Amino acid sequence: MLLFRTILQPRALYLRYQSSWGFCLIRKCRMSSVPLAAICQVTCTPDKEANFAACMRLVEQAKEGGASMVFLPEGFDYIGSNQEETLKLSESLQGNTISRYTQLARKLGIWLSLGGFHERGEDWETDRRIYNSHIIINDTGSIVSVYRKGHLFDVELTGRGVSLKESSFTIPGHSLMPPVQSPVGKVGLGVCYDLRFPELSLALLRHGAEILTYPSAFTVATGAAHWEERGVFVDKPVSCVPIVDPWGEVLGDCGATEPGLALVEIDLQKLRDTRRNMPLQQHRRDAEFYCSLD
């Protein structure tokens, strides 16, 4: 998931249209100098070539619409039909998939948030396990940060027919990464299930994050129980997930089913005003208070 504060200015004009291959784009006639970010929703399969073509088209549309940074969801590279296929299709950061995205970022002069990527672990030849990695690429095509998902999704919901054990084939990341200074603000990196752990977002917030990102590919059963956040911009590129402002107001989404993107203004002044009017960080107690029950 992404915690990413985004502002849709009420005076902006939005145009919605359908392309020949069925995605929708929400475009904005710019009326201010506030930076634009693009939040993308895609439907990925095991066909990596088709997935890249779909994502590339969205990135190109975002650039055309004036976005300076594009956020793609978890599993943007592919979604395997089973564990064996998921592992077989994985790559290293030096593989073809990330190389193509670095070239795309450099060609278009745009920042990319790619999460989560199926990254082969250091001991792949013997271990056969992967990381779930969130990668930031700058507008010159350089990888500036890689966060490897720290909280793995192991769940057994017998009543809903959900049984997942991410830890059986995924290595948990070892640490958080500092927020990345981007054209739309300081971006803190998470992935999907990480959102359930407030300690992660609070740590990133303490280190200056203005945008918290949690690219996600939820199951239907668990994803339906989504939430809203307050105090930062919330950006959650994933099917049917809205964009939420610092007060928890839903500002827009990409619709329920079709792949597409939404262009949104990132008004960091509103974030600063909100933090000034409701100074949550100043109201927090010391660590001893929160550990007093222990």
Residues belonging to the active site: 74, 149, 192
- Which strand (E) or helix (H) includes residue 103? helix 96-108
Tokens of 56: 């590339």
Q: CA triplet 22, 25, 27: central angle to 5 degrees?
A: 160
Rg of the chain (C-alpha set): 19
Cα 32–Cα 37–Cα 43 angle in degrees, nearest 5: 145
Structure tokens at 201: 């977002």
Residue 105 to residue 60: CA distance in whole angstroms: 10
Strands (E), 93-178: 111-120, 130-137, 143-148, 154-157, 162-165
Nearest residue to 75 via CA among 57, 97, 59: 97
Backbone angles phi, psi at 263, to 5 degrees: -95, 130
DSSP run (H or E) holding 268: helix 268-277
Q: What is the DSSP letter of 273?
A: H
**How far apart are alpha carbons 41 and 190 in whole angstroms?**
17
Q: Quick one: tokens of 230? A: 């307050």
